[in-house]
Amino acid sequence: MMENKSIAFQNEMLKTIIDSVHEGIVIVDEKAKIIYMNKSYCEFLEKEQEEVIGKHVTEVIENTRMHIVVQTGKEERADLQYIKGNYMIANRIPIVINGKIIGAVGTVIFRDIHEWKRMNSHIKSLLLQLQTYLEEWKEDNGAKYTLSDIVSQSKQMEMLKERVKRIADSDVSVLIRGESGTGKELFAHSIHQLSSRSHKPFIKVNCGAIPDHLLESELFGYEEGAFTGARKGGKKGKFQLADGGTVFLDEIGDMPLHMQVKLLRVLQEKEIEPVGSTKTVPVDVRIIAATNRPLEKLIEEKRFREDLYYRINVVSIFIPPLRERPEDISALVHHFVNKISKRAGKRITAIDENVWHIFSQHSWPGNIRELENVVEVAVHFAEGETITVEALPEYLRANSVYQLQGKTLKQLLEETEKAIIKKSLSLHQNDKVKAAEALGISKSTMYEKLKKYGLDG
């Protein structure tokens, strides 16, 4: 008699403890019928304990898997379960006695919706702090892109990505070659990100955009009083800022000869001499260079040093133009449509077949940069949810006409290039420098093309 009272007391004490715990608890038998649900879970589900006992668990708890756990005997921990408009964290453990499954016990964390929202807000706050930290790190680090940002499906590009993975972790200099707009900078970023220097700065220098008389001080820095207007205390150059990391010399073909000599010395001696200083400063940087110019021809014309060419061209990467990998156009178009649509707040669900035909026929002299600009125009000018021919830039709409006029490929490319340059100048109020930057070409290249097409008047 005393033993029965003791068992009853223990059962009551156990029930009281289970009812007072924070989490929701449910116990089912081998047929997945509820034999117990604690007070916390009942209150959350707005059910009475008496009414849930004996019911199949699927009749009481939405999206439950307790009946599946009873069948499989496999426990499920930290699973997300959608209950009453919120995701809860659920654990489901089979109860096994003498090798036989006789039921299962389930627990749900965050039984209170308001409590879940408070926790959710706290997590979001932490994520925002982390995002801010990552943005600051990216700003300091300089590298924004990885191989995953290079959208492609052609065999050439996939092989190129594999090559980048193989050479990225070495310290050898890399020369990236390709036409304007092919994505040379994205590959430079990716090489840095995959290297052991990824935690150090990635510093970009556009050799064609910096005036000749400022290039030396930009690259190597200067001492206080080195020249009129020099900042008090001097200034560190790009090489010092990139110490331990990577220097990306974009448009290296536009670097003046006198700077090529100084750059060669830096690469050989691994030290720089700031302007106005008598002391050298050791630097440890990896060089990635890029150009769309024929360096071999520049060497013949004595406009580029042969010894510097061999120093930077230890590993050469050539990015094929878009016209040589047309299978990438579809993937790129869909990528740009999604990105630009979100940014513009528009909904684009389809692209007209005639648009695809024009895209496949066009030679894309501006490569991926041109394609992105075309898609941006098309998304903004699209009426409704479909991009039609009418939404394309005028020069592209005339593309099919060009094909019927019996012109050579060179003539077609030149006409298209001229149209793009005119459009860029118009968009930037005839500011040649800004137009060149938007097209991803150097100032000197822009002036050459303006003269070639008679647009320099």
Element (H, E) at 359: helix 353-361
pLDDT at 304 over 80: yes
Residue with tokens 């036989």: 100
Tokens of 386: 């479909």
Confidence of residue 283 (pLDDT cuts 50, 70, 90): very high
Residues 342 and 276 in one domain: no
Rg of the chain on CA atoms, in Å: 33
User: Which position has the higher pLDDT, 439 or 46?
Assistant: 46
Neighbour count for residue 221 (Cβ, 10 Å): 23
Tokens of 138: 């990216």
Confidence of residue 409 (pLDDT cuts 50, 70, 90): low
Q: Chain centroid to CA 399: how far? A: 32
CB within 8 Å of 325: residues ≥ 6 apart: 152, 154, 156, 157
How do residues 377-390 score in pLDDT, each as one tens digit? Answer: 899 888 888 999 99
Residues 280 and 160 in one domain: yes
> What does the pLDDT read at residue 451?
85
Does 224 reside within a domain?
A: yes
Does 5 reside within a domain?
A: no
CA nearest neighbour of 242 among 133, 142, 313: 142
Residues 308 and 175 in one domain: yes
- In CATH, what number is assigned to the domain containing residue 77? 3.30.450.20
Helices (H), ranges, 73-173:
113-141, 155-167
Residues 266 and 357 in one domain: no
Residues 326 and 312 in one domain: no
Does 122 reside within a domain?
A: no
CA nearest neighbour of 38 among 24, 48, 50: 24
pLDDT at 7 over 70: no
User: Which position has the higher pLDDT, 397 or 375?
Assistant: 375
Residues 256 and 340 in one domain: no
User: Which position has the higher pLDDT, 146 or 106?
Assistant: 106
CB within 8 Å of 162: residues ≥ 6 apart: none
Which of 255, 286, 318 is the C-terminal boundary of a domain?
318
Contact in structure between 70 and 94 (CB atoms under 8 Å): yes
Q: Which DSSP string do the residues of 169-214 spell out, in sequence order?
A: TS---EEEE--TTS-HHHHHHHHHHHSTTTTS-EEEEETTTS-HHH
Confidence of residue 183 (pLDDT cuts 50, 70, 90): very high
Residues 74 and 206 in one domain: no
Q: Which DSSP string do the residues of 285-343 spell out, in sequence order?
A: -EEEEEESS-HHHHHHTTSS-HHHHHHH-SEEEEPPPGGG-THHHHHHHHHHHHHHHHH
Q: Running DSSP on this structure, what letter comes out for residue 270?
A: S
Residues 173 and 223 in one domain: yes
> What does the pLDDT read at residue 43?
86
Residues 228 and 358 in one domain: no
202-206 and 246-250 strand pairing: parallel
Contact in structure between 286 and 197 (CB atoms under 8 Å): yes
pLDDT at 111 over 50: no
The overall average pLDDT reported for the chain is 84
> What does the pLDDT read at residue 2?
47
Contact in structure between 399 and 393 (CB atoms under 8 Å): no
Q: What percent of the chain has pLDDT over 70?
A: 83
Does 271 reside within a domain?
A: yes
pLDDT at 334 over 80: yes
Contact in structure between 117 and 87 (CB atoms under 8 Å): no
Domain of 448 in residue numbering reads as 409-453
Tokens of 402: 């060009």
How do residues 53-79 score in pLDDT, each as one tens digit? Answer: 999 999 999 889 999 999 999 999 888
pLDDT at 402 over 50: no
Residues 281 and 331 in one domain: no
Residues 327 and 309 in one domain: no
Task: State the greatest distance between any 2 C-alpha atoms of the chain, in Å, as a whole number.
Answer: 112
Residues 106 and 235 in one domain: no
Q: What is the mean pLDDT of residues 284-293?
A: 94
User: Domain count of the chain?
Assistant: 4
Does pTM surpass 0.75?
no
CA nearest neighbour of 368 among 323, 399, 435: 323
Does 121 reside within a domain?
A: no
Confidence of residue 404 (pLDDT cuts 50, 70, 90): very low
Q: What is the mean pLDDT of residues 295-313?
A: 94
Decide: residue 155, CB within 10 A, 0-12 exposed, 13-18 middle, 19+ buried. exposed
> What does the pLDDT read at residue 406?
54
Q: Give the three-state DSSP class for 14.
A: helix
User: Which position has the higher pLDDT, 426 or 296?
Assistant: 296
Half-sphere exposure of 272 (CA within 13 A, CB side): 24
How do residues 114-133 score in pLDDT, each as one tens digit? Answer: 555 555 565 556 656 666 65
